Homo-oligomer: A and B are copies of this chain.
């Protein structure tokens, strides 16, 4: 594949992701992607021979990566209480900005049970996300700010679940307060 080829391919994935974010997964057709990215049918199937499902899977990967990179550098540096607060603000801000669209949830709802790859993308995202949070908790335990008796992994799971649910509630209702409550209470429960 030539340089031009990879550029086109990338353009297609990003365009598809943007299109899905805007119109939702159910309403996005290949023609929409075509129009937005200025490509032809043949290009779509040239770069994604397995068709729409394959493209959607690539979009899922792309969006999954974004979820974590959008939280950096804060997520990777949970080494003080102000840092935790900064991360918390970052997460809230991201979803506030993004508004009521979660590209991933849509893609998963569509591919989830059929395509095995889609579930793997989310699984990996959750694992990485949780382990970053857990690392932060362990660091706080080491510097004596968190009870060393706490199960860091379990707390990370609960906190992550709270975030996910908070985002979900926001997507469905437009309200950010559940996400804030989950984050704040999750962090508070560490401090004691």
Q: Give every chain B residue within 8 A of A24 (Cβ-Cβ).
A: 109, 112-114
- A132: shortest Cβ distance to chain B, in Å? 15
Taken together, the copies of this chain in the complex come to 2
Q: Give every chain B residue within 8 A of A110 (Cβ-Cβ).
A: 26, 109
Name A101's closest neighbour in chain B (CB-CB). Answer: B113
- A88: shortest Cβ distance to chain B, in Å? 13
Q: How far is the CA of A110 from the CA of B112 in the complex (A)?
A: 14
- A169: shortest Cβ distance to chain B, in Å? 6
- A118: shortest Cβ distance to chain B, in Å? 9
Let me know if A16 is at the binding interface, CB within 8 A: no
- A59: shortest Cβ distance to chain B, in Å? 14
Let me know if A69 is at the binding interface, CB within 8 A: no
Q: Give every chain B residue within 8 A of A126 (Cβ-Cβ).
A: 169, 172-173, 178
